Amino acid sequence: MATGSVREVLPPALDSHSDPPPIFDGTTRLYISYTCPYAQRVWITRNCKGLQDKIKLVPIDLKNRPAWYKQKVYPANKVPALEHNNEVKGESLELIKYIDSHFEGPSLFPDDPAKKEYAEELFSYIDSFYKTATSSFKGDGSKAGVAFDYIETALSKFEDGPFFLGQFSLVDIAYAPFIERIHPFLLEVKKYDFTLGRPKLATWIEEMNKNEAYTQTKSDPKDLVQSYKERFMAQL
């Protein structure tokens, strides 16, 4: 499994007072937020490919974002965005596939047709997974069980490894940021541990946390829980 052993010093986030980088100067840049799960997907992919020296991180402060980001970089004014070959592309699932296929480094997508087909099914389920899991916050959290049962079953399909497609892939990268956030929130706020009775999911979390390319992108669980409290508790 790709682990991205390079430990980099992370730059400070740019805000409304920050000057823009020299856009379209030939440098490949990945615009992210350190707190955004969608941006984290692409950040993990970059690290797993060992592209820390090829793709420069440009973190944006989403609560005080610079005007030049929308005007000069990405009109959608969202993260992630990738500046490459004098173009800027967005949408996290598209970007992780783009980086995997257009840059050097270990492949993060299988050649096996059956695994490719299942990968697309799992990508399609992500929105339903997130909505089911977060809607359960209104109760005791246990209604999220159907979503985690789906994950447990998915992790049982291929027996050549502990990941969704057996071996580590873009599918694991796509799900990791959301499970990273939902797990500690449900534990602290709802006292619900969705890994109990789901050994495959518990092992998957353990294996993901051995991947330095991923762990370098993780936030403090306390910060993630607080963020979810602010976002969801007001709605309850």
Answer whether residue 13 is part of any domain.
Answer: no
Cβ neighbours, 10 Å, residue 30? 23
- Among all chains, which residue has been given the structure tokens 């009109």? 75
Residue 236 has pLDDT above 70, yes or no: no
CATH code of the domain containing 154: 1.20.1050.10
Q: Are residues 86 and 186 in the same domain?
A: no
Q: What is the mean pLDDT of residues 113-123?
A: 98
In a domain, 15, yes or no: no
| 91 and 118 housed in the same domain | no
- In the chain, the number of structural domains is 2
Assess whether 227 and 136 both reside in one domain: yes
Judgement on whether residues 96 and 118 belong to the same structural domain of the protein: no
Q: Examine the domain organization and report whether 215 and 121 are in the same domain.
A: yes
Task: Give every CB contact of residue 52 below 8 A, 6+ residues apart in sequence.
Answer: 4, 6, 8, 46
Work out the mean pLDDT of the chain and round it to a whole number.
94
Whether 141 is in a domain gets the answer yes
Residue 97 belongs to domain with CATH number = 3.40.30.10
Distance separating alpha carbons of residues 212 and 200, to the nearest angstrom? 21
Burial class (CB in 10 A: 0-12, 13-18, 19+), 160: exposed
| Alpha-carbon distances of 75 from 10, 19, 78, rounded to whole Å | 25, 17, 8
Per-residue pLDDT averaged across 50-74, rounded? 97
* Averaged pLDDT for residues 148-164: 97
Quote the pLDDT of residue 235: 57
Overall average pLDDT of the 70-75 stretch: 97
Query: Within this chain, do residues 175 and 217 fall inside the same structural domain, yes or no?
Result: yes
Percent pLDDT > 70 in the chain is 95
pTM reported for the whole predicted model: 0.94
User: Which of 102, 126, 159 is the last residue in one of the domains?
Assistant: 102
Question: Nearest 10 degrees: CA dihedral of 35, 37, 39, 41?
Answer: 130
Instruction: Give residue 89's pLDDT band: very low, low, confident or very high (50, 70, 90).
Output: very high
Average pLDDT over every residue of 109-137 = 95
pLDDT at position 36 is 96
The answer to whether residue 40 scores a pLDDT higher than 90 is yes
Lowest mean pLDDT among 50-64, 163-177, 218-232: 218-232
Secondary structure element (H or E) that encloses residue 205, with its range: helix 199-208
Residues 86 and 140 in one domain: no
60 within a domain of the structure (yes/no): yes
Instruction: Output the six-digit token pair for 14.
Output: 């740019």
Q: Indicate if the pLDDT at residue 137 is higher than 60.
A: yes
**Residue 193: its H or E element:** none
**Would 11 be classed as within a structural domain?**
no
**Predicted local distance difference test score (pLDDT) of residue 5:** 54
Given 102, 127, 154, the domain boundary residue is 102
Which of the pair, 143 or 209, is modelled with greater confidence?
209
What's residue 208's pLDDT? 98
Mean pLDDT of 1-19: 81
The yes-or-no verdict on residue 77 having pLDDT over 60 is: yes
Asked whether residue 1 is assigned to any structural domain, the reply reads no
Q: What is the pLDDT of residues 165-194, one digit of tens each?
A: 999 999 999 999 999 999 999 999 989 999
pLDDT (average), residues 76-94: 97
19: which residues sit within 8 A by CB, 6+ positions away? none
The domain in which residue 188 lies consists of 113-234
Q: Are residues 78 and 188 in the same domain?
A: no
- For range 224-229, the mean pLDDT: 92
Angle at 195 between CA 189 and CA 196, to 5 degrees: 95
